[in-house]
A = this chain, B = another copy of it.
Amino acid sequence: MGHMKFQAKIHVILKPTVNDPQGLTIKGGLQQLGFQGVESVRSGKYFEISIQAEDESDAKVLVDGMCEKLLANPVIENYEFTVSKSNS
């Protein structure tokens, strides 16, 4: 908990060495629709999370923990996030 509010934007995407059948299916669908220039598609997840934290570094530690424990599977997925102060 904390007094300040932050917004985290989190991307989770399969590691480059892991097969991505959903991405391949989307690539095929796009090509069928006429987008011949598509060379590859990787699919992933995106989360926007509002949290209370003491400060920005506290917020980053919290978000990193959320990714490790629930949002991503660190065995097969990579994640990246940004944290910014929220006005609302």
Contacts and interface: CB of A to CB of B under 8 A. Distances in A.
A33 B47 CA distance: 17
Given A35-B65, A36-B1, A37-B1, A45 B45 contact: yes
Contacts of A5: 39
Contacts of A13: 46, 48
Chain multiplicity (copies): 2
B66 A51 contact: no
Contacts of A11: 46
Interface in A1-42: 1-2, 5, 11-13, 23, 26, 29-30, 33, 35-42
Interface of A: 1-2, 5, 11-13, 23, 26, 29-30, 33, 35-53, 62, 65-66, 69-71
